[in-house]
A and B are shown apart, each in its own frame.
Chain A
Amino acid sequence: MRLAASRLDDSGAAEANAKRLLRRRAASVTAAVAPFGIVFGASAGTAGLSLVEAIGFSVFVFGGSSQFAAVEILGDGGSVAAAAVAGLLLNVRSLAFGVLMAPALAGAWWQRAGWSQLMIDEATAVGTSIDTPALRRYGYLAAGGGVFVVWNATTVVGHVLSSEAGSLIEDLGLDAAGPAAFLALLWPRLRRRPQLVVALAGAAIAVGLVPLVAPGIPILASLIAVGVVAVIGDQEGASCATPASGVSCWPPAPTA
């Protein structure tokens, strides 16, 4: 009886620990988004969009790089169709993210419909950094919700600042915050050889394609690397996300 109770306490404490860790990761990716929100607001202003139009993009489209692409094309006098197609190509990866997150987003259809609006890079990255479905959803919602709030707030700030924001971000090196955050989320997976191979191949494919194809495609094309590894086979198990393996991609929660 006592044993059962203490086990319950242990699992409760472990869950609280995991949630704290997820909140910290969510806070980090959320903070990293702020400079880009400012740049988006600024470029929307420069492209002649009103503040309401800029916020409309950030609330309803809610996909950083696709918003940039669409607004840039509209600002250069491109057609609505060109802007929409470019933006959609950049967001095709959300379809892949949806497949990754779907098992963790179990619930009534209207809940799944609401949660899906947060299907972005950061939310998926934090969500998939943990094993259990309930915690995956927690991380996904924490990061997605945090980014949603900060992205829209900084869109307003950027639109108001409009002219100077771009150079300020470059001066402070904040354009490196995003790549660094993605690398940090990737890092724990790299200790497993198959994942390391997938990551290196994916990065090489994506970078190699940048000069050749439309923006957004290189990110998606990196998935070819996963297919290659799946064909070769994977004795160690490519996954850190298999509950049966009992191994998390992330190191145990740091004490700090």
Chain B
Amino acid sequence: MCDARVGSFVLATGTYCLMAAAPLLLGATELPDRLRRFVDAAPAALLAALAAVATFAAGDALVIAARAAGLLAAGIALWRRAPFVLVVVIASAVTALFRALG
């Protein structure tokens, strides 16, 4: 499957350029204040988006499925100050339970 090799090469090269652009070109340059504030708050938006999309997206459709129950359980566990690993285990277990119950 030659396509797969060409595809992965192009994707790998392009991805690496994206990954390395800032560390290689920007280095430890001090960012302007406004940009720094943006950069400091960015992880909150990205993490929330990653969690939400991975929970509610199925292809290009939105679904409220067993995963949503798992995420809710994770939220409750975090609120009760459960350790990180336990949060992940609880989310998986609740999702599996909801799926099993249909």
Contacts and interface: CB of A to CB of B under 8 A. Distances in A.
A28 B60 contact: no
Given A170-B99, A184-B84, A210-B60, A219 B46 contact: yes
B8 A98 contact: no
B74 A184 contact: yes
Nearest to B98: A173
A63 B57 contact: no
Q: Is the interface of A mostly helix, strand, loop or mixed?
A: helix
A217 B5 CA distance: 25
B50 A121 contact: yes
Contact of A241 (B15, B40, B74, B78): B40
Given A60-B8, A174-B92, A202 B48 contact: yes
A217 B83 CA distance: 32
Contacts, number: 314
A223 interface: yes
A94 B18 contact: yes
Interface residues of B, number: 75
B26 A207 contact: no
A171 B99 contact: yes
A87 B45 contact: no
A88 interface: yes
A200 B26 CA distance: 30
Contacts of B39: 99-100
Contact of B44 (A87, A101, A199): A199
A182 B6 CA distance: 32
Interface string B58-102: 001110001100110011001000011101101111111111100
20 contacts: A31-B88, A49-B1, A57-B8, A62-B15, A87-B15, A88-B15, A105-B23, A117-B16, A124-B43, A133-B28, A173-B93, A173-B95, A177-B88, A179-B50, A180-B74, A186-B47, A186-B51, A198-B45, A203-B51, A230-B34
Interface of A: 24-25, 27-28, 31-32, 47-50, 53, 56-57, 60-63, 66-67, 70-71, 74, 80, 83-84, 87-88, 91-103, 105-106, 109, 112-113, 115-119, 121, 124-125, 128, 133, 170-187, 189-190, 194-196, 198-207, 210-211, 215, 218-219, 221-223, 225-227, 229-230, 234, 238-242, 254, 256
